[in-house]
């Protein structure tokens, strides 16, 4: 393919879920497609997501599901309604990877791992004639408005597709492919972009040396975490720098925004969410005798040492003697979070292309014929299947937008250089 004009109809840049599902949709519709990725294999972050069990989507009612996308709900809703969780499950079953609903409502492949699904998926794409270019980074456009790439050996490749779909990811876990290096190419074209910020991340807490050394790497289970008007149940993991875990991720966007505006966020931890205040006061009102606070709380409420010492981190070594005050503390241990973990450690990222830059077909209004999907758009969602569902649905929607664009037989595309 030496002549850049002798090129498949569609170039897809990015080999994650959004890019691959777009390639599948377009190739099935009869369009020639080539997928570029800067790494040596596609779907690296997808594989990482499946290490602990691939959470594809969630089974909750669709309206509640859509609420998980916050301010991006209205924009993403048509795409997700067109390719809802049931459709994603059917797609997986079509690759002989049936799914099941876990006790939390999350949806997983029966095999749990992402490797069998990705392997079957890539085989299907190859059967449909999708071409791949690996170890190739997109650099933007050349002086003749052709796509410009740099191969791993330092040589350049140029391409002049009829349409281009960007699915380059955000900026979390950059070693897995999404390093945000594409930002400059789009910002030079006047596209509004928001800075990347960590999402679904842990947070820093200034632990005492004693607490850190004793409890680093240990979980706190069966909790309720509250911030603002939201409460979530789950567990957290104590790390050397702070806390992380599913319950933290569910509140991450609000916690991060509070830290950005106020310099900190105070998270409230209920260590006994299944007990009423009255029940706690009754049990804590019994004589403690010569027993230590730790022994009394362990025997009376079943609190583990990590929970008891978490209270001491919040209020100091001396816990309240009053049953009322101790009840209040147990049900709302204050933890002061001072910073989110870095983007490199975040599960996903917020920021990217302003959704107002896109039309309803996921095409950039300023650059007709250029589409974008996935995490490179400015939306975020909690873990639980919402991230992958958003990536798949936006990839499908963008691919259908490309189809509509190409079938309109538009005239020569305007230059990205103005």
The series of mean pLDDT values per 10 residues for the chain, 418 residues long, is 66 97 97 96 88 92 96 97 98 97 95 94 97 96 94 94 96 86 95 96 96 96 95 95 93 95 97 96 90 90 95 94 95 97 92 97 96 97 94 98 85 43
Whole-number pLDDT of residue 3: 58
Residue 186 lies in a domain: yes
The C-alpha atoms of residue 83 and residue 388 are separated, in whole angstroms, by: 12
State which of 289, 315, 340 marks the end of a domain. Answer: 340
Same domain? 267 vs 331: yes
368 & 252 share domain: no
Do 332 and 392 share a domain, yes or no? Answer: no
Give me the pLDDT at residue 411, please.
Answer: 42
Residues 286 and 401 in one domain: no
Domain span holding position 269: 203-340
The percent helix, strand, coil of the chain (3-state, each to 5) is 40, 25, 40
> How many CB atoms are located within 10 Å of the residue 62 CB?
13
Q: Is residue 418 part of a domain?
A: no
The 3-state DSSP class for residue 184 equals: helix
Rounded Cα distance, 284 and 264, in Å: 32
Give the per-residue pLDDT at 418. Answer: 44
Position 412 scores a pLDDT of: 42
pLDDT at 136: 96
Q: Long-range contacts made by residues 144-148, C-beta under 8 angstroms, separation at least 24?
A: 145/415, 145/416, 145/417, 146/4, 147/11, 147/13
Do residues 238 and 186 share a domain?
no
Q: Are residues 24 and 159 in the same domain?
A: yes
Best CA proximity match to 122, nearest among 47, 178, 65: 47
Please give the pLDDT value at position 7. 67
Torsion (CA) 11, 15, 19, 20 in degrees, nearest 10:
110
Q: How many domains does the chain have?
A: 2
Domain-located, residue 23: yes
* Triad 62, 63, 67: Cα angle to 5°: 110
């Amino acid at each position: 393919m030496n002549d850049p004009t002798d090129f498949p109809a569609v170039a897809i840049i990015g080999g994650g879920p959004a890019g691959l599902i777009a390639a599948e949709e377009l190739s099935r519709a009869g369009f020639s497609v080539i997928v570029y990725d800067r790494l040596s294999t596609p779907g690296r972050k997808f594989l990482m997501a499946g290490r602990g069990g691939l959470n594809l989507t969630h089974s909750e009612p669709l309206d509640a599901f859509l609420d998980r996308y916050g301010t991006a709900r209205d924009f993403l809703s048509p795409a997700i309604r067109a390719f809802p969780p049931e459709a994603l499950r059917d797609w997986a079953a079509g690759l002989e990877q049936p799914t099941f609903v876990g006790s939390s409502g999350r949806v997983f492949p029966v095999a749990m791992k992402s490797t069998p699904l990705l392997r079957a998926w890539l085989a299907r794409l190859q059967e449909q004639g999708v071409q791949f270019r690996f170890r190739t980074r997109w650099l933007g456009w050349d002086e003749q408005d052709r796509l410009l790439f740099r191969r791993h050996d330092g040589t350049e490749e140029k391409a002049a597709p009829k349409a281009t779909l960007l699915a380059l990811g955000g900026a979390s876990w950059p070693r897995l492919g999404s390093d945000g290096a594409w930002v400059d190419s789009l910002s030079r074209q006047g596209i509004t972009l928001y800075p990347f910020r960590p999402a679904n991340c842990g947070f820093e807490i200034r632990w005492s040396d004693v607490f850190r050394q004793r409890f680093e790497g240990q979980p706190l289970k069966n909790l309720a975490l509250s911030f603002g008007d939201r409460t979530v149940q789950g567990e957290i993991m104590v790390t050397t720098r702070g806390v992380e875990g599913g319950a933290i991720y569910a509140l991450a966007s609000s916690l991060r925004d509070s830290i950005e505006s106020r310099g900190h966020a105070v998270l409230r931890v209920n260590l006994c969410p299944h007990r009423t205040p009255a029940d706690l006061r009754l049990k804590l009102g019994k004589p403690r005798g010569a027993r230590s606070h730790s022994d009394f709380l362990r025997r009376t409420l079943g609190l583990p040492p990590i929970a008891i010492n978490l209270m001491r981190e919040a209020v100091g070594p001396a816990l309240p003697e009053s049953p009322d005050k101790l009840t209040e503390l147990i049900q709302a241990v204050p933890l002061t979070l001072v910073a989110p973990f870095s983007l490199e450690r975040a599960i996903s990222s917020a920021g990217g292309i302003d959704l107002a830059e896109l039309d309803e077909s996921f095409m950039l209004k300023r650059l007709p014929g250029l589409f974008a999907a996935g995490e490179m758009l400015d939306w975020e969602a909690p873990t639980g299947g919402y991230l992958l569902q958003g990536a798949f649905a936006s990839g499908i929607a963008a691919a259908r937008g490309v189809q509509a664009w190409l079938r309109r037989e538009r005239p020569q595309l305007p230059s990205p250089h103005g």
